[in-house]
Structure 1
Amino acid sequence: MPACAIEEAIDIKGYVVIDPEECKGCGLCVAACVQKVLTLSPQLNRYGYHPATNEEKPCNGCGLCFYACPEPGAIQVFKAFD
Structure 2
Amino acid sequence: MAKVQGAVVINEERCKGCNLCVMACPADVLALQSKEVNNRGYHFAYMANEQACIGCSSCAVVCPDGCIEVYRVVIK
Task: Tell me the matched-pair count.
Answer: 71
Task: Give the structure with the larger strand fraction.
Answer: 2
Question: Which of these residues, 30, 39, 63, is aligned with residue 57 of structure 2?
Answer: 63
Runs of 4+ deviating beyond 4 Å: none
Question: Which of these residues, 17, 21, 33, is aligned with residue 13 of structure 2?
Answer: 21
The code of the aligned residue for 2:31 comes to T
> Could you list the per-position Cα deviations for residues 3-44 of structure 1 after superposition, in whole angstroms to 9, with x for gaps in the alignment?
xxxxxxxx5521101111010100000000000010000211
Cα distance in 1 for residues equivalent to 2:49 and 2:12: 14
Q: Does 1:48 align with 2:41?
A: yes
Q: Name the SS for the 1:20 alignment partner.
A: coil
Question: Which of these residues, 25, 29, 35, is aligned with residue 27 of structure 2?
Answer: 35
> Could you list the per-position Cα deviations for residues 53-76 of structure 1 after superposition, in whole angstroms to 9, with x for gaps in the alignment?
00461210000000010002x101
RMSD, matched Cα: 1.6
The code of the aligned residue for 2:41 comes to G
TM-score, normalised by the number of residues in structure 2:
0.84
Cα distance in 2 for residues equivalent to 1:56 and 1:20: 17
Cα distance in 2 for residues equivalent to 1:38 and 1:56: 7
State the percentage of identical aligned residues.
42
